[in-house]
Amino acid sequence: MLQILRERIAATRDVDQHADAAVLIAITREPEPKLILTVRAGHLSSHPGEVAFPGGKRDPGDRSLVATALRESFEEIALDPAAVEILGAGLQRRSRFGLQVRPFIGIVAPDLVLVPNLAELDSVFRVPLRHFLERDNLRLDEVEHEGRICDLPRYPWRDKQVSGLTALMLIDLLNTAFDFGVDIRR
């Protein structure tokens, strides 16, 4: 599974640097790879309690969007940037608030100890990548966006919901790397 990711994502290394923010789609290096996700702190004014990839807005001192994703991942979950093998970039998406966000796909060791920064997060957790590749786990919610009807993906996982921009970026990754075949137009 990781070899397919390496081959398909490697072609996306050169990216437009004009995004406002970046996230890290971190996947563990093991026979059954897992995706690392966070739950945003309930006290935050923006997206409280939502499941998200680690990441955030680009700072003036960030030399690239990859640097933004790695810096934010370190700040949020204590993920050492040197422990991440960046494979490439995913498709840039616009958040519902107009922020342009670029995901970067990275591989990490399975035994990393990740600690949520409680000022920003309630928790960090892992979900087997296979869970997202099983069609029965995918829900498509019909919503109106900018005057048109869209299907937004959502994945239930235990007591959590992977939805919104996080789910859209995940579907983009699954379509690119694994020919998942879910058409999300937005």
pLDDT at residue 12, as a whole number: 57
Which one has a higher pLDDT value, 48 or 82?
82
Which of the listed ranges 4-13, 138-147, 154-163 does the model predict with the highest average pLDDT?
154-163
| pLDDT tens, residue by residue, 68-109 | 999 999 999 999 999 999 999 999 998 888 889 999 999 999
pLDDT confidence of 67, banded at 50, 70, 90?
A: very high
Predicted TM-score (pTM) of the model is: 0.92
Angle at 170 between CA 169 and CA 174, to 5 degrees: 120
**Class of 2-132 in CATH:** alpha beta
Distances from the Cα of 99 to the Cαs of 37, 127, 134, 144, 165, in angstroms? Answer: 20, 26, 30, 19, 11
DSSP-assigned states of every residue in 35-58 = EEEEEE-TT-SSSTT-EE-SEEEP
Q: Which amino acid is at 67?
A: A
pLDDT at residue 147, as a whole number: 85
Across 40-54, average pLDDT: 90
pLDDT at residue 17, as a whole number: 61
pLDDT at 146 over 80: no
- Residue matched to tokens 């081959």: 7
82 within 8 A of 43, measured Cβ to Cβ: no
Whole-number Å distance between alpha carbons of 77 and 154: 23
pLDDT at 119 over 60: yes
33 within 8 A of 126, measured Cβ to Cβ: no
Dihedral of CA atoms 52, 57, 61, 67 in degrees, nearest 10, equals: 30
Strands (DSSP E) found in 41-162: 51-52, 55-57, 85-89, 93-94, 100-108, 121-128, 139-145, 148-157, 160-162
47 within 8 A of 38, measured Cβ to Cβ: no
Whole-number Å distance between alpha carbons of 152 and 166: 11
